[in-house]
Chains A and B, each alone.
Chain A
Amino acid sequence: MTQRERFDYWLRIGGAIAFVIVLVAIVDVASRGSFLEPSNIVRVLRQITYNCILGVGQTFVIITSGIDLSVGSLVALTGVVAALFANSVHLSGFPLIAATLIVALAVGCAAGWVNALPVVKLNLPPFITTLAMLEMAVGAAFILSHGRPVALQSADFQNTGIGSFLGGLTRALHLPNIPVPVVWMLAVIVIASVLLNRTRFGRYVFAIGGNEEAARLAGINVTRVKTAVYMISGACAAIVGFLYMALFSSGSPQTGTGDELLESIAAVVVGGTSLMGGRGSVVGTFFGALLIGVLYNAMNLLNVDSYLQKVLLGAVILLAVVLDELRKRYLTS
């Protein structure tokens, strides 16, 4: 590390900590202490869970300099398919939950494979192919569900959707309940992080995003790696579809089709992943999602008008990427 890079490293860490402390202090005082209550912190984590998981899948795609616009629709489709499946099989308990998850994952991965096919075979822009998938998936979700939420007949998913992780332990320690979906999110982050940073596959993802031709000439099977990143994104959408289905006890064709797509992309970008490819991290995406979640939460506690909230959120996203760009220029100047 050069002196400049070392300075930059501490500036980033110090800056982030200072920013969080200032923000937290202001909001905590203004909200008379409710912001830092453990239950509020858990609330923030629960709120960011879904967009964060989508963002993790999206991170893989964006590092290869692609984009996946279909994730929100895939949440709807996988949720509906999972609910229909759960209602149609004679299983219960863990086998039911596992089989339903597998079905959701299969649908998500298949959609990701379809997203990737024209990209790797015909070199079409992923913006277009995943936009087409966005329309097809949400349409299919409405057709399959007849436009109505598919209510789950089994109550076995309740713990997955709204249960607490090691509830007995946290109660004994007077800690707030840790929602099960938050644990899913953390598991996804850990697995994805190891995959991206420690395996050959992860290295190839970065190499393709950095210089696809050099990667190909190094013998990397670019087609396979690119296909895999879209399947990972589809799988992450499927996990979110499954968790939402468990949360609402139904699979609805409208879940996931709101702000989810854009906020998951925002989390990735705020988290330092370059839309040009070749650079990024899963942990960054988590912090990106966390920053957005904390902002929303703080604005709610401070009773900021909900329309104004949108304006401020947009401004923060812009500020984050502008600062990151200025930092990069400083490093390379």
Chain B
Amino acid sequence: MRGIGKSFPGVRALSDVSLTLNAGEVLVLVGENGAGKSTLMKILSGALPADEGEILVNGTPVRIGSPQEAQHLGIGMIYQEFTLVPQLNVPANISLGAEATHAGLIDSAAVNERARRVLDELGLELPFDVPVSRLSVGQQQLVEIAKALATSARIIVMDEPTAALSDREIERLFTIVRRLRANGAGIIYISHRMEELPQIADRVTVLRDGKVVETRAASDFPAAEIIAAMVGRRLTSHFPELPPVPADAPVRLEVRGLGREGIVSDVSFSVRAGEIVGLAGLIGAGRTEILRAIAGADAPIAGTILVDGRVLHPGRIGGAIDAGVAFITEDRKAQGLVLGMSVRENVTLAHLKEFVDRDQLVNVVRERGATARLIDELQIKTPGTEQLARNLSGGTQQKVVLAKWLLGDARVFLFDEPTRGIDVGAKSEIYKLMIDLIARGAAIVMVSSDLPELLGMSHRVLVVRDGRIAAEFSRAEATPNRVIAVATGAAAA
């Protein structure tokens, strides 16, 4: 790609971006949200036209006008969001849009054969006869990859493929990537996770504000320098200092014998004011379900949940909110925000009661005031309180979700993957906010698949395995190796 430029109304998304990808190489593309990574990849995959510049494949200039044309040129794109049809099985999804036909009817033998060939090539085994909706998230991701490879792509773009994967699944993905590389494919790999880079990257290209800042061999590009190039200033440390929990801090949240049929069993722990407890574990271990049970999002459940010594009624979200529980969900688009509503309407949604005047009407002026205050406090990048949530970037949306819960006087915060898919700058702002919250006496339970984050931001780490708490580590004891060993079942607690 040579001298690529692209503008959107009011924004220069890319300017003079040049990129070379060799056969048999993994080029990792990093950059904060809004740096232009996704736009660049959309241009490469034909989803967006470039304003200027040219693209050469195997030395020949090409015009990529549509995703179909990209496919013909051997460019395969694996999107961050799944593009599978949940009701169809694995072979049908892999062949979708390119089904082999016989006399106008789908030739299912050929479709199955093709799927088997691709999966063999990847060294994968997946069940063929169930709809993909029944597969785990990790398996679905693998189907997504197989789908891109079925078009015999030689240039493969992966947009944050590990965001939804557990550590074991990531290992498997890396094996596949290395195999593809050995077969001579060129891979562009977009990631937010620094710790992945040494394992996978041959070269690293850093994008900032629509420009290439630096490209270097991965072996010669330490994480601290990559991050510095991304944010344009040198960060001394990933994580802010965690203040110690006061010795006399009262217990804010207590969970006793929590259970949910087949998913969570006999989970007990407590969190004190000013304390952050991290829940580690593989995807599907039951971490999110523990948070959901505390928040009252699921019923029926066994066990008792106490907030400031008062028992919560299980399965009542409203009751949990009134008791001061704030649940910041993992998927902000599906669960955290009403995208078609304004920032103001989203922020006040859980506490609208407090904005109702004596005439029973909602007081919009007061809503605006409160929202503007939070926009200020959290430095939410929005043109105003009336902007639709849909139009904001991922990190900004996450801040809107946080603002929603800061509005009430919540004292127990349940964070589920609070920084997934957001850029480094926004991440550190969220960490700072968590510190602010515990300084004000809140208790935090955090679930994160980003292990350095979990270890860096927790006073204590509980490792969840098969719906149970398999081990508890103090901050000093919690090393990545120990936690992973317990989470994967390699070591007993």
Contact = CB atoms under 8 A, between A and B. Distances in A.
B390 to A, nearest CB: 8
Interface in A166-214: 194, 198-200, 203-204, 206-207, 210-211, 213-214
A214 B345 contact: no
A211 B362 contact: no
A220 B335 contact: no
A132 B117 CA distance: 49
Interface of B: 9, 295, 297, 317-318, 320-322, 327, 329, 334-341, 345, 349-350, 352-353, 356, 360-362, 383, 386, 390, 404
Interface of A: 1-2, 4, 194, 198-200, 203-204, 206-207, 210-211, 213-221, 278-279, 332
A206 B318 contact: no
Given A210-B338, A214-B335, 17 more contacts: A2-B383, A194-B361, A200-B353, A200-B362, A203-B349, A206-B338, A206-B341, A211-B334, A213-B335, A216-B317, A217-B336, A219-B318, A219-B350, A220-B349, A278-B338, A278-B341, A279-B340
Contacts, number: 75
Contacts of B335: 211, 213-214, 217
A219 B386 CA distance: 22
A221 B352 contact: no
A214 B338 contact: yes
Nearest to A216: B317
B340 A4 contact: no
B336 A214 contact: yes
Q: Is the interface of A mostly helix, strand, loop or mixed?
A: helix
Given A218-B404, A219-B350, A199 B360 contact: yes
B362 A203 contact: yes
B297 A217 contact: yes
Given A4-B9, A198-B362, A213 B334 contact: yes
Nearest to B360: A199
B361 A199 contact: yes
What are the 6 tightest A-B residue pairs by CB atom distance, in nearest-first order?
A210-B338, A218-B350, A219-B318, A219-B321, A198-B361, A211-B338
A39 to B, nearest CB: 38
Nearest to B353: A200
A196 to B, nearest CB: 11
A295 to B, nearest CB: 30
A28 to B, nearest CB: 40
A23 B238 CA distance: 65
A278 B340 contact: yes
Contacts of A214: 334-338, 349
8 contacts: A207-B345, A211-B334, A211-B337, A211-B339, A214-B349, A216-B297, A218-B321, A219-B350
Nearest to B317: A219
